[in-house]
Amino acid sequence: MRPFIEDESFRIQGLRFIDVLPRLDDDEALLRHCQEYFDTDALRLPLPFRWCLRKPGIYGPLIVQAVRRFMGMLSGQFMGGATPDEAMTTIESLRRRDMGFSLDILGEAVVSEREADAYQEHYLKLIDEITPRLQQWPSLQRLDKVDGTRGPRLYLSLKVTSLYSQINPLDVRGSIEGISGRLRPILLAARRNRAFVCIDMEQYAFKEIILKCFKTVLMEPELVDWCDVGIAMQAYLRESERDVKEMIEWARERGTPVTIRLVRGAYWDFETVIAKQQGWAVPIWEEKPQTDACYERCLALLLAHYPTVRTAVATHNIRSLALAMVLAEEFGLSVGQFEFQMLFGMAESLQSAISALGYCLRIYVPFGEAIPGMAYLVRRLLENASNQSFLQMGVSQEYDPDELLPPPCTSAVDATSAVALGTSVGNDGTGSELLPGFRNEPLFRFNRAEERQQFAAAIDEVRSQLGEAYPLFVNGSALLTGSTIESRNPARPQELVGAVAAADAAHVDRAVEGAAAAFIDWSALGMEQRAHLLLRAAARLRKRRARFAAWEIFEAGKTWREADANVTEAIDFLEYYARQAIHLGSGGRLDLPGEQNFFGFRPLGVGVVIPPWNFPLAILTGMLSAAIVTGNTVIVKPSSQTPVIAARFVRLLHETGLPAGVVQFLPGAGGTVGEHLVRHPNVHFIAFTGSEAVGTRIIELASKLAPGQHHIKRVIAEMGGKNAIIVDSDADLDDAVVGVIRSAFGYQGQKCSACSRMIIVGTQYDELLERLIEAARSLKIGMPEEPGNYMGPVIEAAARKRILGAIEQGRKVVRLALHVECSVVGSGYFVGPTIFSRVPPDSDLAQKEIFGPVLSVMEANTLDEALAIANHSSYALTGGFYSRSPANIERVKREFQVGNLYINRPITGALVGRQPFGGFRLSGTGSKAGGPDYLQQFLNPCTVTENTLRRGFAPSL
């Protein structure tokens, strides 16, 4: 264990290697991974070791044997066996040492309802099978008596997230229903069999659901008077003291005690990384002494409230253990009225000491297969290796006794004040290297009731504004015209979202003329002034973000998270381009004696912005803000499916103080108003995002010189994709299934970045496909304004018809593995997740963009084959790779030809500044939205050189 602890890079590499090991069945793969992980210059391993790795012919079998033995030893140390029988042997040996147990069946990631059923089944079976065996044990006063009466023999620990695959912090009620449907039978079986069940606490995102679920189920008539049940609470959370108080209050009202297992918390790294990545307040105490102090406060609270609650003091920390003993004595608690708990394989000398002192000590014993057990094992190793861990500081030989002194922080901080709505806190590295001062707008976390209520209130407010009329904006005047575009809710087509005035050719001419007039003053303003206008617009949008998101729900059929992400992206574009414009505005100089050189930019002139409907706010805002901040004036022709959101954004810009004529708003049919704009001789550029067919048509039209036109029109075109995710033979399949599902079916597959091809390498095809099908089948489909739904409708009737047509065509030639029928959902344009299996790489299914929830799965024997299939496309937008082979990851980075490549994560959701977005081939002209060189496309570069030498005299530099 020592090297893990002492060398950071070896520790990381070692943990990563351990993580992939259970997936390496064959020796060749194991050896190859050994070489890839450990024969690297970065690690500086001793030369003899590296030399052995390089001679696999001689040392290979030895290395394989040693690694497998090491793995066995590790699992043996922290896990109580692979099967119930092995676990039985473990708990029997604990009992011989006067120690109790709590069994936990490993299996954390549940991606489908079928897997959740299986997890429930395991627990029910375990209770049935093991209880009679335990009854034969001779009684042990210390362990078998609770409060002087006979207590349960079988103790179980349970992760409720494994009981429901669609758990969703947004949908607390639905999640509780989903979990309790499977939890209730387990609890009833436990009660019948006199077993004890403790609910584990997991990631912060699920805390509210877990606590509420616990309280809800235990108030049900069949369970309200049952006391053999408990829940873990984590002292590393800033909110834990408040939660403990609420739990005590609840237990008092219930009238029957429950046990609280007080732990510090095992997801420290995870919670910190996720919060920092997302720009959220870190929910846990960041310094170990703060957690220690919180643990002690919670401990005192709990022990003081015996018998309302019983306490399981789950810690390996000597100071906490000692404090518990002292407090128990102070409160007059005897053995049997509280207990200690420790983890199997951790701090064994401490375990023996506590047991020798006569206390009741229960050991948490996880058991199960190696693959589902990996997450647990890695958590234990991380804990053992963390330099903040008490095990390292307190139990090792060299601990500093001062570490055991009272923790410096003893006052509780109001946690809620630190987690303000949508505030960006401590998100180091989120784009700051790319552009100083820029931070991505954090998404709503949705795990706080206030956030959800704010969002729900915005939906209600917007609902009351549906059906309004929206005018054109030409030269600062609002114009209603004779014809309108009716925007309808795709989830409920009878609902009119808004009636937007439609322009005609005459309006186009007036708008271009007005934009040309406005260009004179607007282009003369400095970049900085224009940038400040963008920043003001960002601030205004930020204030109204929930309302704008609600409009997306009604007009574009986006679910809550998708809608929120689109609005934050729009804010990001405004913030990012404003800063970049300021940066560009200063230009560049290179002065020599007698010669001044200036390099700068000039705006192009009048432009047209043509966005698609699928990111109706973000893409519109991105193209529009880039165009105007650089000094151009524009005419916006919104998509006819989402003109209301566009109208509202243009209105917001004008409210912000945008001069009349800088942005004209001209809704209308693409083929008439759109084309008229593109052909117009006074238009200088077209910023377009949409389909390949329309994009290439615009490029063609724009390339023709109209009479009187003295410039070449520039076209910035972002187009379609047929994006693939390759899953390598050593990939983490839990991650891969979740990532592919999110990429393929998020927003109903209607993202240009969506995954529509999945390529599975090696022999895992059937297993992975099966899991994927079940995961897709489990997704909740319904009205997008209901927060529990994962999928809403597709954008319009024509889209639904087109997608269903493609499915019909596809099933004539390829096996349809899944098509979820949506007829029950209502009159909306719903299409369920659809998966085709063993799709030929040349077929239409694998080559044509369908732009809906349709996934083609393909098989490849090798990574060579997989890459060839992935690159065999006329598009090159996004791509993904799930793998734990460092060499394969490097290779894919080089050879996968896409604009945006994602490794071991979903392929949608690019963030401004962090993942500049855009593709090549027929996916686009190669520009990168939200990237460092995007603005230059809206500018003409120019150089000014002045000879400052006059009669041999030059000003000094």
CA dihedral 422, 792, 930, 878 (to 10 degrees): 130
Query: Among 670, 739, 782, 906, which residue interacts with ligand NAD (rule: CB under 6 A)?
Result: 670
Q: Among the candidate windows 215-223, 399-407, 568-576, 666-674, which touches ligand NAD by CB under 6 A?
A: 666-674
Minimum Å distance from CB 799 to ligand NAD? 8
Answer yes or no whether residue 690 interacts with ligand NAD by CB under 6 A: yes
Residue 907 · residue 723 · CB < 8 Å: yes
Minimum Å distance from CB 676 to ligand NAD? 9
Query: Among 176, 658, 698, 869, which residue interacts with ligand NAD (rule: CB under 6 A)?
Result: 698
Answer yes or no whether residue 851 interacts with ligand NAD by CB under 6 A: yes
The answer to whether 409 is a known catalytic residue is no
Instruction: Provide long-range contacts, Cβ within 8 A and 24+ apart, for 409-417.
Output: 409/285, 409/287, 409/289, 409/290, 409/293, 410/293, 410/297, 412/241, 412/294, 412/297, 413/238, 415/237, 415/238, 415/239, 415/242, 415/283, 416/239, 416/448
Nearer to ligand NAD, 24 or 831 (CB): 831
Structure tokens at 412: 């509780």
868-887 binders of ligand NAD (CB under 6 A): 877
Query: Among 721, 810, 853, 913, which residue interacts with ligand NAD (rule: CB under 6 A)?
Result: 721
Answer yes or no whether residue 3 interacts with ligand NAD by CB under 6 A: no
Q: Among the candidate windows 92-100, 321-329, 411-419, 918-926, which touches ligand NAD by CB under 6 A?
A: 918-926
730-789 binders of ligand NAD (CB under 6 A): 752
The C-alpha atoms of residue 491 and residue 740 are separated, in whole angstroms, by 25
Residue 916 · residue 934 · CB < 8 Å: yes
Answer yes or no whether residue 560 interacts with ligand NAD by CB under 6 A: no
Query: Among 610, 618, 666, 768, which residue interacts with ligand NAD (rule: CB under 6 A)?
Result: 610
Q: Among the candidate windows 157-165, 198-206, 369-377, 685-693, which touches ligand NAD by CB under 6 A?
A: 685-693
Minimum Å distance from CB 687 to ligand NAD? 11
Helix, strand, or coil (residue 473): strand
Answer yes or no whether residue 718 interacts with ligand NAD by CB under 6 A: yes
The C-alpha atoms of residue 590 and residue 709 are separated, in whole angstroms, by 35
DSSP for 546-575, written as a single string? HHHHHHHHHHH---HHHHHHHHHHHHHHHH
Count of beta carbons in the 10 Å neighbourhood of residue 945: 10
Query: Among 234, 317, 341, 640, which residue interacts with ligand NAD (rule: CB under 6 A)?
Result: 640
Minimum Å distance from CB 922 to ligand NAD? 10
The answer to whether 718 is a known catalytic residue is yes
Minimum Å distance from CB 622 to ligand NAD? 9
Answer yes or no whether residue 678 interacts with ligand NAD by CB under 6 A: yes
**H, E, C per residue of 86-129:** HHHHHHHHHHHCCCEEEEEECCCCCCCHHHHHHHHHHHHHHHHH
Minimum Å distance from CB 900 to ligand NAD? 10
Minimum Å distance from CB 928 to ligand NAD? 10
Minimum Å distance from CB 197 to ligand NAD? 48
Taking alpha carbons only, the member of 681, 679, 677 closest to residue 668 is 677
Hey, which bits of 218-344 come out as E strands? 229-234, 258-263, 309-314, 338-343
Answer yes or no whether residue 671 interacts with ligand NAD by CB under 6 A: yes
Answer yes or no whether residue 562 interacts with ligand NAD by CB under 6 A: no
Binding-site size for ligand NAD (CB under 6 A) equals: 31
The C-alpha atoms of residue 131 and residue 14 are separated, in whole angstroms, by 39
Answer yes or no whether residue 569 interacts with ligand NAD by CB under 6 A: no
The C-alpha atoms of residue 766 and residue 814 are separated, in whole angstroms, by 16
Nearer to ligand NAD, 90 or 748 (CB): 748
Query: Among 440, 689, 908, 927, which residue interacts with ligand NAD (rule: CB under 6 A)?
Result: 689
Query: Among 296, 675, 728, 730, which residue interacts with ligand NAD (rule: CB under 6 A)?
Result: 675
Answer yes or no whether residue 719 interacts with ligand NAD by CB under 6 A: yes
DSSP for 164-225, written as a single string? -TT--TT-HHHHHHHHHHHHHHHHHHHHHTT-EEEEPP--GGGHHHHHHHHHHHTTSTTTTT
Nearer to ligand NAD, 498 or 611 (CB): 611
71-110 binders of ligand NAD (CB under 6 A): none
Counting Cα atoms < 13 Å in the Cβ hemisphere of 522 gives 27
Calculate ∠ Cα 135-139-140, nearest 5°: 130
- Closest residue by beta carbon to ligand NAD: 670
Helix, strand, or coil (residue 944): strand
Query: Among 315, 639, 664, 883, which residue interacts with ligand NAD (rule: CB under 6 A)?
Result: 639
Nearer to ligand NAD, 286 or 844 (CB): 844
Answer yes or no whether residue 685 interacts with ligand NAD by CB under 6 A: no
Minimum Å distance from CB 754 to ligand NAD? 8
The C-alpha atoms of residue 701 and residue 695 are separated, in whole angstroms, by 10
What pairs with residue 525 in β-bridges? none
Query: Would the CA dihedral through 530, 533, 539, 543 be positive or negative?
Result: negative
**Residue tagged active-site, from 34, 298, 752, 755:** 752
Query: Among 10, 359, 613, 836, which residue interacts with ligand NAD (rule: CB under 6 A)?
Result: 613
Minimum Å distance from CB 399 to ligand NAD? 55
**Residue tagged active-site, from 202, 692, 718, 849:** 718
Structure tokens at 15: 């943990």
Nearer to ligand NAD, 154 or 623 (CB): 623
Query: Among 203, 427, 484, 691, which residue interacts with ligand NAD (rule: CB under 6 A)?
Result: 691
Structure tokens at 395: 């139990």
The C-alpha atoms of residue 380 and residue 384 are separated, in whole angstroms, by 6
Strand order in the sheet with 484-489: 468-470, 492-501, 484-489
Task: Characterize the bridge pairing of strands 338-343 and 361-367.
Answer: parallel
Structure tokens at 877: 């937008």
Query: Among 178, 810, 924, 930, which residue interacts with ligand NAD (rule: CB under 6 A)?
Result: 924
DSSP label at residue 138 = P
Minimum Å distance from CB 190 to ligand NAD? 51
| Interacting residues of 952 by C-beta distance below 8 A, sequence separation 6+ | none
Catalytic site residues? 718, 752
Q: Residues in the site for ligand NAD, rule: CB under 6 A?
A: 610-615, 619, 639-640, 670-671, 674-675, 678, 689-691, 694, 697-698, 718-721, 752, 849, 851, 877, 918, 923-924
